[in-house]
Structure 1
Amino acid sequence: MQNDLPGAGGDDETALAFREHRLSWVAYGDAILKGLVAIAISIALMLSPRWIMMTPITARILSYAGIAFVLCALGILIYRFCYIRRVRLYTDQDGVWCYRGILPWRRGIVGTNWRDVRQASYGTGFVRWATKAYPINVDNRFTDTDPITLSHVHRGHEFVGHVNAWRNRMLRQEGETLR
């Protein structure tokens, strides 16, 4: 495992190399679980005329509604999978960035420059530790409206350590240039 603290390791530049992180398999599992629940509800809706006495027209309407809900749930599940595959959280010499989106009008990069990063943080817990999928939050020190917030980032704790180490390094460099 790579140590992200400056000066704590053999090669400082290697420890502070820029990174790219993706979402964990837990994000896919979450999408599958939600999709299966929606499909199960839809199938129950389609099969409800077999369990409850109702008029034939109502039974037909419920069957068509169930089919429509199954198709919508499958479409949303496919969209969610494609979205999860596209999410990229990365750092470069300018700051912390998140690329996400599939549809052209929703696709883009959000982020914060190094000089504007307040802090990066992540949530803890046993399941998060066991799966190595952490929710992360990178705050902007000037606005509270645009933090980078992602759930289920693979090795998100390492990403947060990396971002905070780079932020501290930038602050030290600014302090040296001001003197």
Structure 2
Amino acid sequence: MQNDLPGRGADDEASLAFREHRLSWVAYGAALFKGVVAIAISVALMLSPRWIMMTPITAQILFYAGMAFVVCALGMLVYRLCYLRRVRLYTDQDGVWCYRGILPWRRGIVGTNWRDVRQASYGTGFVRWATKAYPIQVDNRFTDTDPITLSHVHRGHEFVGHVNAWRNRMLRQDGETLR
């Protein structure tokens, strides 16, 4: 693991001030699993007239309902995979930011400036350690209602260390300028 604390040089500061993280394969696996389960339920609904005796009109309604659910499940699966691919968690000289969204009215950046970051934290556990997919949360010190919260961030523990190191560095700088 690298040392996230910047050195005294401007080159060190520029190289460590920006870090980008994406979601882990675990997030994609969970979306695929949910999609496959929804499709399997829809196919079972379509094929239920073969297993149960029912009137022809009921069998036809169940078949078309199953087809509609398959199409909806596939659409939602594709949307979710595209959405997961677009999520970016990053830091720059101004703060911690999360870019997400596909649709124009849902796309955007949420974040917190360095001066407003309370702390960053992540969840631990064996499965999280083994997959290197951690849930992270970056808290704002002024509002408890708008933390940046993401699940399954690839190497999220490193991101949290980086954010907290930069936050402490900014606090030390502010303390030196106040004296």
TM over 0.5: yes
Aligned to 1:128: 128
Q: Distance in 1 between matches of 2:58 and 2:46?
A: 11
Whether the aligned pair in 2 keeps the contact of 1:4 and 1:15 (CA below 8 Å) is no
Q: Note if 1:38 corresponds to 2:35.
A: no
Q: Distance in 1 between matches of 2:121 and 2:44?
A: 42
Q: Distance in 2 between matches of 1:106 and 1:119?
A: 27
Q: Distance in 2 between matches of 1:3 and 1:81?
A: 33
- Counting only pairs closer than 5 Å after superposition, residues 88-127 of structure 1 correspond to structure 2 as 88-127=88-127
Q: TM-score, normalised by structure 2?
A: 0.94
Q: Distance in 1 between matches of 2:12 and 2:19?
A: 15
| Structure 1 residue ranges without an equivalent (≥5) | none
- Counting only pairs closer than 5 Å after superposition, residues 1-179 of structure 1 correspond to structure 2 as 1-5=1-5, 13=13, 16-179=16-179
SS at match of 1:106: coil
Structure 1 residues 18 and 29 mapped into 2: Cα distance closer, same or farther (>3 Å)? same
Query: How far did 1:34 drift?
Result: 0.3
SS at match of 2:2: coil
RMSD value over aligned CA atoms? 1.4
Q: Distance in 1 between matches of 2:108 and 2:13?
A: 29
Query: How far did 1:5 drift?
Result: 4.0
Query: How far did 1:14 drift?
Result: 7.3
Q: Distance in 2 between matches of 1:18 and 1:12?
A: 11
Query: How far did 1:121 drift?
Result: 0.3
Q: Please give the per-residue CA displacement for 1:118-151, whole angstroms capped at 9, x wherever unaligned.
A: 0000000111101101000000000011100000
**Aligned residue type for 1:121:** S
Query: How far did 1:6 drift?
Result: 5.3
Whether the aligned pair in 2 keeps the contact of 1:3 and 1:15 (CA below 8 Å) is no
Query: How far did 1:4 drift?
Result: 1.9
SS at match of 2:115: helix
Query: How far did 1:15 drift?
Result: 7.5
Structure 1 moving runs of 4+ over 4 Å? none
**Aligned residue type for 1:109:** I
Range with greater deviation from structure 2 (158-167 or 11-20): 11-20
